[in-house]
């Protein structure tokens, strides 16, 4: 239900409807969730898409938001807010970071994520949506968008005219291509799937496409890229992709393979190349990202689904049958799905 001033004043928990997996099968079903009352520094949000929606109530100390604002919440809902990382706007590196899902917040409550009718979050971790940014196609940017934006910003891969490779064309990769174009860079998609070439070049606007299984195409692209954003989660040898980098080039990992990486030392030493990782981004960078995305028309490619379709969507996701992100229409379908159970 939507929170009210009375419930906050009384310090009562606020009841919400959510979706949860209750056993190892992973099957999602309606679940009653208790959210904390809206504290002095909190923002209460009616979720319309996960997680983007409309502010319904703010605490007395909140200055950045008001009821009716269009907002979103990304991968974090809290941190210590006092360590060096937090003071530098890098809350994602705080040793006490509280993630949006399956974490324990400072009040001892479990965070249940965004498959929910509402959420209460400290104002520091709420992102204001620009008016031109749609909530559904913008919600995924708070995860996928910041995941690729941050390494591009901090590793100098946001400079017009530079050449960046995007390894993997999926939920992360397609957004990386869009940001690279927004930065004015030359962008090459590197993929194992020749069938994605037309998608990359004609619809997403990449400048070039390299089939990684083609020795000829990989050789032609050798030492041509200033950087590579590696979005691939499958285990794959790094050396062939590091060879695509110019001297002093950088490969940034945002995908998470299950097994240790295969990285021959010579592939880094030769050419003075760098292999680095990146993990989402801080809140100031997230706000900056969503504003730049709005300015340049960058959104995630999405398929909007009802809450009653989530388990089918999970099956399709495991098979790679989505281009490129599922987004749940929480506002219009969650309560109906719960009532049908």
Return the domain boundaries, the chain.
14-128+304-319+326-339, 140-277
pLDDT of residue 6: 38
pLDDT of residue 337: 73
The β-bridge relationship of strands 163-167 and 225-230 is parallel
CATH architecture type of domain 14-128+304-319+326-339: Alpha-Beta Complex (3.90)
pLDDT band at 1 (very low <50, low <70, confident <90, very high): very low
Helix (H) or strand (E) holding 332: helix 330-340
121 vs 100: CA distance, rounded Å:
9
Beta-carbon-side half-sphere exposure of residue 43 (alpha carbons within 13 Å): 29
Residue listed under structure tokens 């479990």: 110
Percentage of the residues of the chain whose pLDDT score is greater than 90? 85
Instruction: Tell me the three state secondary structure of residue 99.
Output: strand
Residue 102 has pLDDT above 80, yes or no: yes
Query: Which CATH number applies to 140-277: 3.40.50.410, 3.40.50.720, 3.40.50.300, 3.40.50.2300?
Result: 3.40.50.720
156 vs 228: CA distance, rounded Å:
11
pLDDT of residue 320: 87
pLDDT band at 341 (very low <50, low <70, confident <90, very high): low
Whether omega for the bond prior to residue 308 falls within 30 degrees of 0, making it cis, is no
pLDDT band at 11 (very low <50, low <70, confident <90, very high): low
Instruction: Tell me the three state secondary structure of residue 9.
Output: helix
8 vs 36: CA distance, rounded Å:
9
Arithmetic mean of pLDDT, 181-193: 97
DSSP of 58-92, one letter per residue? E-TT--S--TT-EEE--SEEE--SSSHHHHTT-GG
302 vs 144: CA distance, rounded Å:
12
Closest CA to 16 of 33, 39, 37, 38: 33
Residue 268: phi and psi, rounded to 5, are: -95, -45
* Lowest-pLDDT range of 134-148, 212-226, 308-322: 308-322
pLDDT of residue 13: 87
* Lowest-pLDDT range of 6-10, 95-99, 258-262, 284-288: 6-10
Arithmetic mean of pLDDT, 191-216: 96
Residue 65 has pLDDT above 80, yes or no: yes
| 210-252 per-position pLDDT tens digit | 999 999 999 999 999 999 999 999 889 999 999 999 999 999 9
Arithmetic mean of pLDDT, 126-151: 97
């Amino acid at each position: 239900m939507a929170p009210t001033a009375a419930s906050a004043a009384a310090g009562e928990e606020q009841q919400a409807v959510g979706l949860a997996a209750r056993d190892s099968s992973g099957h999602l079903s309606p679940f009653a969730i208790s959210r904390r009352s809206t504290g002095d520094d909190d923002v209460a949000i009616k979720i319309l898409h996960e997680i983007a929606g409309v502010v319904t109530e703010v605490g007395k100390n909140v200055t950045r938001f008001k009821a009716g604002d269009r907002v979103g919440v990304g991968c974090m809902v809290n941190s210590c807010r006092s360590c060096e990382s937090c003071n530098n706007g890098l809350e994602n590196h705080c040793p006490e970071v509280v993630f949006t899902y399956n974490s324990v917040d400072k009040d001892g409550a479990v965070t249940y994520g965004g498959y929910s009718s509402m959420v209460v979050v400290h104002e520091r971790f709420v992102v204001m949506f620009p008016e031109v940014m749609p909530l559904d196609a913008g919600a995924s940017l708070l995860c996928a968008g910041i995941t690729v934006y941050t390494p591009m910003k901090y590793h100098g891969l946001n400079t017009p005219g530079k050449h960046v490779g995007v390894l993997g064309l999926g939920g992360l990769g397609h957004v990386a291509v869009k940001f690279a174009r927004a930065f004015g860079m030359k962008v090459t998609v590197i993929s194992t799937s020749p069938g994605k070439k037309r998608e990359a070049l004609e619809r997403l606007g990449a400048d070039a496409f390299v089939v990684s299984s083609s020795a000829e195409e990989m050789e032609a692209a050798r030492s041509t890229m200033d950087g590579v954003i590696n979005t691939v989660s499958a285990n794959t040898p790094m050396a062939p992709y590091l060879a695509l980098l110019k001297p002093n080039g950088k490969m940034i990992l945002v995908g998470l393979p299950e097994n240790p990486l295969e990285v021959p030392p010579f592939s880094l030493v030769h050419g003075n190349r760098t292999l680095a990782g990146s993990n989402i981004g801080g809140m100031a960078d997230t706000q900056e990202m969503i504003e730049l995305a709005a300015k340049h028309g960058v959104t995630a490619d999405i398929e909007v689904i009802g809450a009653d379709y989530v388990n089918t969507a999970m099956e399709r996701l495991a098979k790679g049958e989505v281009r490129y992100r599922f987004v749940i229409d929480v506002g219009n379908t969650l309560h109906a799905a719960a009532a049908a159970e």
